[in-house]
Amino acid sequence: MIRYIGKRLLQMIPVVVCVAILIFTIMYFVPGDPAEIILGVTATKQELEACRESLGLNQPYIVRLAYFLRDTFLRFDLGKSYVDGTAVLDNILSRLPYTLIISLGSMAIAIVAGIVLGIIAALNQNGIADRLCMVLALIGVSMPGFWLALMLVIWLALQHSILPSYGVGGVKHFIMPWIAAALPELARLARQARSSMLEVIHSDFVTTAKAKGVKKWNIVFKHELPNALIPIITTIGSGLAHGMGGALVIESVFSIPGLGLYITNSINNRDYPSVQGAIVFFSIMFSVIMLLVDLAYAAVDPRIKAAFSGSAQKKKKVKAAAAVSEEEGDGGDQ
């Protein structure tokens, strides 16, 4: 398993490097002059030229790209903001907790509610509960997140003054962002949980458990749900990545100073180092999430875990056999 984790970590490197090259290329060709952003429109041509020279903006594309990759992956330096001159990495780390609170909190709500709705729908296949759950899931999937966020602000903040509409503070400030971010993922999880449970419900081992008189809920939680978790985990993993990216919209609507709002403001201000650094950071986080999803597969599916351990044991046996043959060869020569 350790060797597998190391292999996956090595596979992350070319992915992140390709993302870094892509985002640098995009920002390189985006219209706008960073020197004017820093000095303002009142700067003279000599001042603008001196600023471009100090930032290395006059150098060819390939040279600037090489410096960017060197600083990012060898020096772990994401550069400094064109707007305020602060370190991009420090800005990202200071805003990361707010994004994690929104994404992890919303996914916790989506996982619990989505799996419960999926189980209820599967156990009442084609019944009223099944149809009601699937209608709610269809509405959740079809509803745009930014529209839901705005409706929550109008209803709960402006009309009834139940919750604050923007900013950060106590738990109340995160309730509406959690709901707005959780509903689409909740709907996807409910549909996936229902589909996975229906495949397992009609399996032979479930029929055998029922014939032995095992209680209904023991069958559901000890036999059916564990065997239906693989596709559900896949949906959870993609939901976590989607939630991190969706935080851009949620944070903009509720004015939460997380990474999403940071990227939005950086794009509007043509703050290229901030955009590049944030996207590279996001790519690393997404890669780590996918690695955790693969590890979760092994935790819930003994067959996958056995395959990992079996390949390692096989290699050990091959090495042992090779060592024995070498010893026999040496003995024969003597």
State the DSSP string of 5-49: HHHHHHHHHHHHHHHHHHHHHHHHHSS--HHHHHH-TT--HHHHH
Residue 173 has pLDDT above 70, yes or no: yes
Report the distance separating Cα 116 and Cα 71, nearest Å: 47
pLDDT digits (tens, 9 = 90+) for 32-41: 777 777 777 7
Which of 151-155, 192-196, 216-220, 315-319 is the least confident region? 315-319
Report the distance separating Cα 171 and Cα 163, nearest Å: 10
Structure confidence at residue 305 (pLDDT): 62
Report the distance separating Cα 259 and Cα 72, nearest Å: 18
All residues at 6 or more sequence positions from 244 whose CB lies less than 8 Å from its CB, including other chains: 99, 103, 259, 282, 285, 286, 289
pLDDT band at 318 (very low <50, low <70, confident <90, very high): very low
Q: Which residue has the higher pLDDT, 300 or 148?
A: 148
Report for 17-21, 50-54, 229-233, 325-329: range of highest mean pLDDT:
17-21
Q: Residue for token digits 């509903």?
A: 183
Report the distance separating Cα 155 and Cα 104, nearest Å: 24
pLDDT digits (tens, 9 = 90+) for 112-126: 888 888 888 888 888
Phi, psi angles (nearest 5°) of residue 236: -65, -45
Taking CA atoms, 11 is separated from 8, 17, 178, 279, in Å, by 5, 11, 33, 18
Summary mean pLDDT of the chain: 80
DSSP-assigned letters across all residues of 171-192: THHHHHHHHHHHHHHHHHHHHH
Percent residues over pLDDT 90 in the chain = 1
Query: 3-class DSSP state for residue 164?
Result: coil
pLDDT digits (tens, 9 = 90+) for 174-203: 888 888 888 888 888 888 888 888 888 878
- Across 15-31, average pLDDT: 87
Buried b (16+ CB within 10 A) or exposed e, 15-42: ebeebbeebbeebeeeeeebbbbbeeee
- Residue 325: other Cβ atoms inside 10 A: 10
Q: Which residues pair with 87 in a beta bridge?
A: 80
Residue 83 has pLDDT above 50, yes or no: yes
- Across 310-334, average pLDDT: 52
Phi, psi angles (nearest 5°) of residue 87: -70, 130
Structure confidence at residue 21 (pLDDT): 92
Question: Which domains are present in the chain?
Answer: 2-73 (no CATH), 89-305 (1.10.3720.10)
Structure confidence at residue 58 (pLDDT): 81
- Across 154-163, average pLDDT: 83
Which of 30-39, 70-79, 280-289, 309-318 is the least confident region? 309-318
Residue 324 has pLDDT above 50, yes or no: no
Question: What's the whole-model pTM score?
Answer: 0.76
Buried b (16+ CB within 10 A) or exposed e, 86-125: eebbebbeebeebbbbbbebbbebbbebbbebbbbbbbee
Q: Residue for token digits 């800005």?
A: 91
